Amino acid sequence: MDTLNGPQSNHPDPASSQYVPAFNHHINETEFTYAITRANHHKVELAVLHGDATHPPRFSIAVYSPHDEQLQQITLSQQETTCLQTLLNQPEVQEILRETH
């Protein structure tokens, strides 16, 4: 799976992707989704889902490849999401993310 912080060997630069924010409503839960279409037509969805009676709030990353029609998804727990948020807010990480090559 591609990393979101930069391209790997034969993958297009994510910076050349088209970024399209979207707000989606679903029955029994609401999610805020940021949908990204990469130059190679792969779709990336970053979603924060509200909790309900059986699930706590969570963060999900899904990548869909139209070439092989495969969907890869990872969902982080609320605690894992907090760890990710803490990581991304570290000054050292912010500096790395501002780097351009």
* pLDDT tens figures, 35-71: 888 888 888 888 888 888 888 888 999 999 888 888 8
Residue 6 lies in a domain: no
Residue 4 lies in a domain: no
Task: Provide the number of structural domains found in the chain.
Answer: 1
Instruction: Name the residue among 61, 10, 20 with its Cα closest to residue 40.
Output: 10
The alpha carbon torsion through 3, 6, 4, 33 (nearest 10 deg) reads -150
Structural domain including 19 reads 14-98
Residue 66 lies in a domain: yes
Average pLDDT of the residues in 60-88: 91
Residue 30 lies in a domain: yes
Residue 78 lies in a domain: yes
The amino acid at 7: P
Average pLDDT of the residues in 60-89: 91
Q: Which of 18-32, 33-47, 77-91 has the highest mean pLDDT?
A: 77-91
What is the percentage of the chain residues whose pLDDT exceeds 70? Answer: 69
Give the residue, 36 or 87, on which the prediction is more confident: 87
